[in-house]
Amino acid sequence: MKKFVDTPATAPGKVAKGATLAAAQFSHALSLDEVPQAIVVKARTCLLYGLGIGLACIHSGFGRTAVQALVALEGSSGTGGATALATGHRLPVSAAAFCNAVMFHGRCQEDTLNSSHLGVAIWPTLLALVESGRAPASNLLVAAIAAYQTAGAIERQIGRHSSAQGFRASPLYGTLAAATAAAKAMELTLAQTQAALAHAAAFAGGTLQGVAEGADEWRHQMGVAARRGMEAAFLARAGSVGSLLALEGPRGFAFGFARNTLETPEFGQWLLPEIAFKPFPICNRNQAAAALAIRIRSRFDVEQIQMVRMRIHPNVLNGMINPGPFELLGQTLLSVNFCCATALARGAIELRSLSEFNSPDIASLLARTQVSVDPAVPYLSAAATVETVDGVHHELVERRGLEDFDFTRAQVNDLLAGLAGEMQLPVESMRALDSFANANVIDSVEPVLAAFANAREFGQKL
């Protein structure tokens, strides 16, 4: 690996303080040997889940669109680049991270911490750095843990405020996560790590309007986050000076995006146990309502259902309460109405069913599904009143908390095996990802590249 000159990345004679320095200090000092074993296990499960969901996205059009755009923009790369996993193209490192982040986001089934999908920025960044020889594979887990902890602690404090300003949490805090992951993986100095965070804070962004409309901008935002975070780390390593109060300053990250102050977070308070996984390829807030709809179908003959009145917590995004009509996949996966109607009609939610905008069975139940907010319903839970044709009203509740989405390794493997069948993927590729994520020593990402190459070849034979 090429060594760069260790140039001081903070202005001489100035002392940094507050959240920016604390974040850099935590990440720089973190050692895998000092991380509780339960946290390491959760990080490995996040790695398995992230890669497996990414593999299930390999035939989606979003990753291929990203590759087409980046190849047209930057061309292919020689031996120094990294692989665009959707197509096998070799691209410049940051371009590969961009394309893979877009692909990993293709099912809207990524991991969730608070309101952010940080893994979509973290894992593609680290894969590209390791594959290209810019970081050792042995740093992969500790770099990911540092990234989840740092960006997650900041988002936990000000995320709801930045969302209220119209900024989407995932790319906003995902840029910080990618920069932290890259800085830790490449073993930057403390000063360089702080500068990487400062640059990432200045580069971050991403609005919510595309989410509300079901358009595609949000699908590419995580690619931008991964790329900007990586670029922030490389600029810091090259000697670019970062602002000392980038996160907490009067014109810094917290004020600019959240119109709020940022008290120094407790970065060492372990957040990885709170990372949630999604059983369905839909918005995280819709998971309980969909599960409840599946329960309703198992209990009632759908022809006997007069109306389903679904109630959810008031913490909703624009577009969640949407009875249609629908023209885009981005609209249906966000609509509680469509997700519930699909679950009622099919007894499950598969990705392809979310594009059946005018399917008669879904349309029939969509007309019989109403959705409203109810402060009495806990966040992530759902309640429903089912009115049958005989005039009887039945009350059902789906109580869900974060612990219900904290899947074990075995549960993730069961989910991924199901996705292999749904998406016509080789089961051995999913198994290879499990072996990689849970190996005693991670010394190469070649097993990951081989698993995706096998899936691409398998898809060509279908």
> DSSP class of residue 113?
B
- pLDDT score at 462: 56
Tell me which of 24-33, 241-250, 366-375, 401-410 is least confident: 401-410
Tell me the CA distances in angstroms from 222 to 134, 177, 219, 290, one per residue in order: 21, 11, 7, 25
Kind of pairing between the strands at 393-398 and 90-91 = unpaired
Q: Return the H-helix or E-strand segment holding 292.
A: helix 287-299
Domain ranges in the chain?
19-274, 284-402
Average pLDDT score over residue span 78-102: 93
Q: b vs e for 27-41, b when ≥16 Cβ sit within 10 Å of the residue's Cβ?
A: bbebebeebeeebbe
Q: How far apart are CA 60 and CA 55, in angstroms?
A: 10
Other Cβ atoms closer than 10 A to 314: 10
Whether the predicted pLDDT of 10 surpasses 90 = no
- CA 338 to centroid of chain Cα atoms: 22
CATH 3.30.1330.120 correct for 284-402 = yes
Fold classification of 19-274 (topology level)? 2-methylcitrate dehydratase PrpD (1.10.4100)
Q: Helix 93-104 crosses helix 217-237 at what angle (to 10 degrees)?
A: 150
Report yes or no: 341 and 365 within 8 Å, Cβ to Cβ. Answer: yes
Sign of the Cα pseudo-torsion (128, 134, 137, 138, in order) = negative
Whether the predicted pLDDT of 101 surpasses 60 = yes
pTM of full prediction above 0.85: yes
Average pLDDT score over residue span 297-317: 95
Other Cβ atoms closer than 10 A to 220: 21
pLDDT digits (tens, 9 = 90+) for 144-198: 999 999 999 999 999 999 999 999 999 999 999 999 999 999 999 999 999 999 9
280: number of CA atoms within 13 Å, CB side?
28
pLDDT digits (tens, 9 = 90+) for 216-258: 999 999 999 999 999 999 999 999 999 999 999 999 999 999 9
DSSP letters along 421-454, please? Answer: HHTT--HHHHHHHHHHHT-SS---SHHHHHHHHH
Other Cβ atoms closer than 10 A to 235: 21
Whether the predicted pLDDT of 343 surpasses 90 = yes
DSSP letters along 225-275, please? Answer: HHHHHHHHHHHHHTT----TTTTTSTTSHHHHHHSS------TTS--GGG-
Q: Is 32 helix (H, G, I), strand (E, B) or coil?
A: helix
CB-based contacts of 54, cutoff 8 Å, min separation 6: 85, 100, 103, 104, 123, 124
User: Please, what is the average pLDDT of the chain?
Assistant: 93
Best CA proximity match to 91, nearest among 72, 104, 79, 77: 77
Tell me which of 35-39, 401-405, 440-444 is least confident: 401-405
Q: Is 182 helix (H, G, I), strand (E, B) or coil?
A: helix
Q: Is 407 helix (H, G, I), strand (E, B) or coil?
A: coil
Report yes or no: 282 and 108 within 8 Å, Cβ to Cβ. Answer: yes
Average pLDDT score over residue span 385-397: 97
